[in-house]
Structure 1
Amino acid sequence: MNNKVQSNRQGSTTTRRLFDRLLEDKFSFTIIVIATIFQVLLTVYLPVLIGQAVNYIVGPSQVNFQALSLLILKMLVVIGVTTLLQYLNPYLYNRMIYKMVSSLRQEALEKVHRLPLSFVDQQSTGDLVSRLTTDSDQLADGLVMVFNQFFVGILTIVFTLISMLWLDLLMVLLVVGLSPLSIIVARFISSRSYKMYQKQTRSRGELASFIEESVQQEEVIRLYNHHQTMNNDFINQNHTYADYSKWAIFYSALGNPTTRFINALIYASVTFAGAVRIISGTFSVGELTTFLNYANQYMKPFNDISSVLSEIQASLACAERMFMLLDQKDEVETGQAVFDSEQLKGDIGFDQVDFAYVKTESLIENLSFNAEAGQTVAIVGPTGAGKSTLINLLMRFYDVDQGKIELDGTNIEVYTRASIRQQFGMVLQETWLKVGTVADNIAYANPNLSRVDIIRAAKAAKADRFIDMLPQGYDTYLDKAGAELSTGQQQLLSIARVFAAKPKMLILDEATSSIDTLTEVLIQKAFDQLMVNRTSFIIAHRLSTIQNADHILVLDKGHIIEHGNHKTLMQAKGFYYQLQMAHQSVGQFD
């Protein structure tokens, strides 16, 4: 019972929020309402003219042609204006709705960029994409139906009821007394379809996430012969989605024929009662004709409303998912100061830092170390030791739970996140390129970079050789976000992007993992030049790449268990020494 009440409250809240958004364009909304009311009034007025025309045809050789001609002319005008409004109104509210949904989609995407990474990391990419694309499209379709059928239907019911009251009270009581049957049936069906559509949208997001994971990891799936398991998992999820869709569509399809059957019974009852009234002389044929038209107009919207209610419920479920995203709290900006890049030295200190992704499971405890300006600091340790977490904290992707991180002696939380991140260049093990030209990707941090500087950065990163072999060189368009390039080529472009940015400090997270040995040697020399007078952090699994680091931090379970340079750590014959021995025997430590 409580779940049902909560669901109803969520639905009403979502409806109110959508209505408030539509009212943001008050002028268009007002014009649409007035034009729709005028369209319905003309539609309701037409049966009056038809009834009068029937009465002008009294019998053989008793037709009032003069009055009938004028009436037909009036009917043609009414039909013409109604047709024009039926064409114009959908254009007006389609424009308003798609403008609103486009704004909502844009707001949702901007919201994603403002959310804490802790929230984004917990969401599947497929589900977020589904909210911004499929859900927003279905929301637009549902809102179009609200104006095209629901709103017009409600107005038609109201105006037709008033017109019928003007004709005959007894006949109106007959129609109104039977019509609640359609309402009860429509409500019964729509309440169930709403629940099914809610489950359908959630299941669709999960399915989209699973498909994205399957496609992205196809090589791994084939490597471990895991395709049958993936297929079985997909079959289960696909069956669940199909089951929810089946029941949602079933209830959606059930509403219209059921209410049509009930309305046909009502129409037959009104016809019989009207015929009896004509025989008794209390009703004319023209009045019955008008009333039957009204009865049809009055009952038809119930069919339309019942058929569209399920679509509206599905749209509300989609809107609810989008609003849930918009209602998430933005990443809190604690700092206001902005770094003066020209004055930056690069001294970095971690002072008794505690951090945990899950508050009940501590990862880093009481961690302290200092990196002097211009030093190269290497971070090594087993998987899960907290190496990447240190970088996340330094870049303020996450904030520390206790302690502080200082840059040039000042707590980094004093500065804006954008100001902090602007000082760093980062190359990750997993590359990312955007849809655009090769030059656009290299100049990502500075779109106004000259072609000369772009080429210089590519040469420094040793990427110029393969770029020159591309069809249009630096103007080659990567319409698949770099998927048409090899993994090594993608990584070379990522490295060139850092060279072009000329950051004050560097973070290299296994930056040459996908590059051949010869190119890696050349890149390492380029990095050595780039790291001169720059504070640099290197996360390395290939221990041979960090032997020249000024300082090496050995992490295990969130603690620094050893630190020093390569020579002193090897002489200590501790954990680092064991890693080096394992590296020499295996070839690579992971």
Structure 2
Amino acid sequence: MSDNHKSGPPAGGGMGRGHGPGGPGMVMPGDKAKDFKGTLRRLMGYLRPHRGQIILVILMAVLSTIFSIVSPKIMGKATTELLTGFIGKMKHVPGAHIDFDYIWQIIMILIGLYLLSSLFTYIQQFLMAGVSQKTVYDLRRDVNDKLGRLPLKYFDSRTNGEILSRAVNDVDNISTTLQQSLTQLITSVLTIIGVLVMMLTISPWLTLIALVSLPLSFLGIKAIAGRSQKHFIGQQRNLGELNGHVEEMYTGHKIIKAFGHEDKSIEKFDEINERLYESGWKAQFISGMIMPVMSFIGNISYVLISVIGGIMVTKNTITIGDIQAFIQYVRQFTMPITQTANIANIIQSTVASAERVFELLDEEEEVPEARIANGIQARATDAPNVDVRGNVAFEHVKFGYKEGQTLIEDMNINVKQGQTIAIVGPTGAGKTTLINLLMRFYELNAGRITIDGNDITQLTRAHLRGMFGMVLQDTWLFNGTIRDNIAYGRIGASEEEVVDAAKTAFADHFIRTLPEGYDTILNEEASNISQGQKQLLTIARAILADPAILILDEATSSVDTRTEVLIQKAMNELMQGRTSFVIAHRLSTIRDADLILVMNHGTVIEQGTHHELLMEQGFYADLYNSQFSTESA
């Protein structure tokens, strides 16, 4: 199963996140951080360089909120003036009239306030966009740099989906929160405080009535959200399962058709889809009750405020305009409280995402380029004192992937310049481990490996790995032209050198039969050419690199028999004068090797030439005869 479907969107949702499964304003269940305070403090550290801009953002939010909050109070004065003048004219009070000039002044003031409020909101969003993107840029840069410093064992022990989820989804979750939820949180808190102050200045008694309805709203939301949460969790689980099933069926549709499992696949899809439907409609239905409940409680509050406020107006203890303003304030007061509750959940999810990112940043890195050797600081050099000849030695090498579990114990190998070394053995014998140690993808537990007498730990990894050319059984090509994929072997390679490498690898002919030739674009999985053709391109890339030492991991396993013969000829020519390590599964391909290392359980149990090992009638002979029982030695 592919790992792609494992890296779904980050948990959490709510205001500012679009209309997800929970709908707008619905708090979605999210993960919680193990160390909330510590992680939040560390995340704030990324915001510290932008504190000047953040102070401006808060100032803009304060000004925008003030202008939007005072507007209902001013509008109420216009209403009071309009009603007072109208009643005076109805009662034929001498000199009574509606002062339209005063009303128009209020209208112009309101227009100015709304414009200023919008302007400050725009500036606030503009500044926060810069802060959030710069902050996430720094975070992404640190994550990218960290991935380049992590040892291979980190990637071997985790799925691609998990690593991508931390590096992409979790960082995007942080970015969205900084851009949207943080400014919304600031505005919501300021609005709650400001509106509460304005309500108290109008009428403390009406404010008390408005506040009494809040606990009822919270209790209603909590009861409904508690019931809907389990259905949302089920919905997300079933959705992930459905995505995984669809992905598997899509990537393996040829196999499904070949074995006639279409009906079984559809049956499983229907089963998962039915569960998704059940959990989905229950989650939506129950969560959809939140707004009606809140509206019901809010309407009761409005009725009480209107009735009591009306009585107060008749007793001239409050003006009609203040009642109008108060009702507007009540509406303004309820929404930011709901938003704050949603944002609190979003922040929990965001801090959990940040914690996952920081866990990645805190992972143990590769051993530094310079290390302590015999108490003396040994400086990692970019180039050895002499040209690379290719003499390789393993001296008392000890290694295990896990502490306390030794795979290789006291390995000693001496390889001379220009020799072809074949490494054979059953699955799990340690063949690939040998190459990983040689390339310094893993560090030794004891002993040392030397190239031309130079300890590889005293060479920079970039220089060490630059000595090697690799052709692996699992081909790797990127989305680009065939020319670019071959030229990847050496920076600055000319067109002629690329074509010569392709000809040597017997790839030139098939390349020229393609519609665009060397300009043919390979898709992301290079599925528009055959597996054998992919291997030919990787071999051409290795030929172009012209390395001092070659590593071939069953490089011809994906090509047909005729092409294999041609590739072997090209490889024999390429390996002339070069030290070559060949991991072989088909023993017929390494008969001419200068030295064959037979490995089992991490130990070299036999070594010698093909004929010498057959004469010993040992482990190698058994392996060989099991593959070629009908072939004479």
Give the structure-1-normalised TM-score.
Answer: 0.86
- CA displacement, residues 106-136 of structure 1 (integer Å, 9 cap, x when unaligned): 5434433322221211222233334444444
User: Contact 1:194/1:314 (CA < 8 Å) preserved in 2?
Assistant: no
Deviates more, 1:123-132 or 1:91-100: 91-100
Helix, strand or coil: the match of 1:421? Answer: helix
Equivalent in the alignment of 1:495: 539
In the alignment, is residue 128 of structure 1 matched against residue 172 of structure 2? no
Q: Deviations for 1:361-396, whole angstroms, at most 9, x for unmatched residues?
A: 432222221112221110011111111111111111
Determine the structure 2 residue equivalent to 1:282.
Answer: 317
State the Cα distance separating 1:325 from its structure 2 match: 2.7
Structure-2 separation of matches of 1:428 and 1:242: 45
For the residue of structure 2 that corresponds to 1:25, the secondary structure is: helix
C-alpha spacing 1:264/1:100, structure 2 compared with 1 (3 Å): farther
- Paired residues for 1:518-533 under 5 Å: 518-533=562-577
Match 1:160 to one of 195, 199, 205:
195
Deviations 1:460-500 (A, max 9, x none): 21111111122222222223342211101111111111111
C-alpha separation between the residues in 1 aligned to 2:549 and 2:500?
19
Letter in 2 for 1:581: N
CA distance in 2, matches of 1:301, 1:333: 51
Distance 2:59 2:289 in 1: 33
Provide the residue aligned with 2:117 in structure 1.
Answer: 82
Matched, 1:30 2:48: no
Per the TM alignment, residue 251 of structure 1 is displaced from its structure 2 partner at its CA by 8.3
Which residue, out of 271, 293, 300, partners 2:328? 293
Residue matched to 2:356: 321
1:533-587 CA distance string (max 9 Å, x none): 2211000112121111111101112121110111211221212122222222379
1:322-471 maps to which residues of 2 (within 5 A)?
A: 322-335=357-370, 336-340=379-383, 343-471=387-515
Cα contact 1:462–1:492 (8 A) shared by 2: yes
The gaps in structure 2 that reach 5 residues or longer are 1-30, 90-96, 371-378
Counterparts in 2 of 1:497 and 1:404: CA distance versus 1, 3 Å: same
Could you tell me whether the CA contact under 8 Å between 1:141 and 1:315 is conserved in 2?
no
Q: Which residue of 2 aligns with 1:546?
A: 590
Whether the 8 Å CA contact 1:259–1:302 is kept in 2: the answer is: no
Q: Which amino acid aligns with 1:340?
A: A
Task: Determine which of 511, 528, 535 is the counterpart of 2:579.
Answer: 535
Taking the aligned partners of 1:561 and 1:481, their CA distance within structure 2 comes to: 39
Asked whether the 8 Å contact 1:198–1:317 carries over to 2, the reply is no
Instruction: Tell me the distance in 2 between the aligned counterparts of 1:339 and 1:226.
Output: 57
The whole-number CA distance in structure 1 between the counterparts of 2:543 and 2:273 is 46
Does the alignment pair 1:485 with 2:485?
Answer: no
User: Gapped runs of 5+ residues in structure 1?
Assistant: 1-5
Provide the C-alpha distance between the structure 2 equivalents of 1:155 and 1:115, rounded to a whole number of angstroms. 44
Q: Is 1:42 the counterpart of 2:67 in the alignment?
A: yes
Tell whether the 8 Å contact from 1:190 to 1:306 is kept in structure 2 after alignment: no
Kindly tell me: are residues 530 and 248 of structure 1, through their superposed partners in 2, closer, same or farther at Cα, counting changes over 3 Å?
farther
SS in 2 for 1:343: coil
Partner AA of 1:39 in structure 2 = S
State how far apart, in whole Å, the 1-side matches of 2:164 and 2:422 are: 36
Work out the percentage of aligned pairs sharing the same amino acid.
Answer: 37
When structure 1 is superposed on structure 2, of 277-286 and 126-135 the one drifting more is 126-135
Separation in structure 1 between the aligned mates of residue 104 and residue 191 of structure 2, nearest angstrom: 28
Say whether 1:171 aligns with 2:189. no
What secondary structure is seen at the aligned counterpart in 1 of 2:154? helix
Q: Secondary structure at the match of 2:604?
A: strand
Q: Tell me the number of residue pairs that the alignment of Structure 1 and Structure 2 aligns.
A: 583
Work out whether residues 201 and 318 of structure 1, in 8 Å CA contact, stay in contact via their aligned partners in 2. Answer: no
In the alignment, which residue of structure 1 is the partner of 2:26? Answer: none
- Stretch moving more, 206-215 or 40-49: 206-215
* CA distance in 2 between partners of 1:194 and 1:332 (Å): 46
**CA RMSD for the aligned pairs?**
3.7
**Distance of aligned partners of 1:305 and 1:152 in 2 relative to their CA distance in 1, 3 Å threshold:** same
Distance 1:230 1:223, change over 3 A: same
Structure 1 stretch 136-145 or stretch 46-55: which is displaced more?
A: 136-145
Distance 2:245 2:460 in 1: 36
2:331 corresponds to which letter in structure 1?
A: N
Deviations 1:225-264 (A, max 9, x none): 7888888998899899999988987887666555444444
Task: Give 1 or 2: higher helix fraction.
Answer: 1
Q: Which segment drifts farther, 348-357 or 483-492? A: 348-357
2:101 maps to which of 62, 66, 71: 66
Query: In 1, Cα distance between the equivalents of 2:272 and 2:367?
Result: 37
Confirm or deny: 8 A CA contact 1:562 1:569 kept in the other structure: yes
Moved more, 547-556 or 179-188: 179-188
